Structures are given as C-alpha cells and as structure tokens.
Amino acid sequence: LISMAACGEKPAEETVETEQLVAEVTATEPSEIPRSASNEGASVFFITPADGATVTNPISIEFGLAGMDVVKAGNKQPNSGHHHLLIDTGLPDLGLPIPANEHHVHFGDGSVSTQISLPPGEHKLQMLLGDHLHIPHNPALTSAQITITVE
C-alpha cells in the first residue's frame, strides 16, 4: 500500500556490516542494549507537510533536525543519527532497534526528504531519530505526531 521514491542505496558491504551489528544488538537482552545520548534541547520535526494538511500523491516530506547532525546509518559519530518515518503506528520499543517495515521507514542513507504515496484517507505520521544501529537515542528524539489527509 505504501510506495517510496528511491532514497539511495548503501554500498553492499556497509549494509551487511550494519545488518550484522543490528542482529548482534537485537540478540542482546533489551536492558543491556546501549543507547546513544541525545543532545539536550535537540529536536526532530516535520518541515512539510503541516499537521492537518490535505495532500495528493506523491506526498513530499521534509525532515528537520536541530541540535544534532544527520549522518548515514553505521556512522558512529557522536551527537548524530538518521531519520525514521513512522506511518500509521505508535512508537516502537525505544530500547530496541527500530523495525523496518511498511510502518517504520528507514532513511539510513542520511536523507532529509522523501516522497511517498499513501492510500486516500487520513494518515498519522511521526519521526524518530535512530543512532548508527537504528536504536533510538536516550532520551528518544521524536517529533509530534501529525495527521494528513490524502485525496
């Protein structure tokens, strides 16, 4: 039901290495998974669309981040992370890597914008920043959940 415009691909070896690290972390007891610290005052937010907007496909989405840097997944730079778009779902377990499915879209390539298509009707969108291993920061950086209507 959800289609995405291409966001760029990571090199195969980077993808395999990151996937192996995520698998190792996921096998760890949740209480033992280390979480990267977020900067005090940092925030993620939607630049577009606005809450309550009526839109048509393809939907242009721009992600904002203040107080930290956007980097590609696998890059363990302090005070950084990459965006995840949550579509019609609540927040995942913040102590585990963010799932990758039709409700949790990863932008591990460091993208700050995308285009998606959604079925007509009302949809809820939220952003969640993940660290180099797709794990939410401590404290987690989430945007306000917005509602859009697709015509």
| Tokens of residue 98, six digits | 């963010």
Query: For residue 147, what pLDDT is reported?
Result: 98
Q: Which residue has the tokens 């460091």?
A: 110
Reported as a single tens digit per residue, the pLDDT across 47-77 is 999 999 999 999 999 999 999 999 999 999 9
The pTM for the full model equals: 0.82
Quick one: which of 104, 108, 110, 105 has its CA closest to 133? 108
CA 148 to chain centre: 18
What is residue 33's predicted lDDT score, i.e. its pLDDT?
A: 83
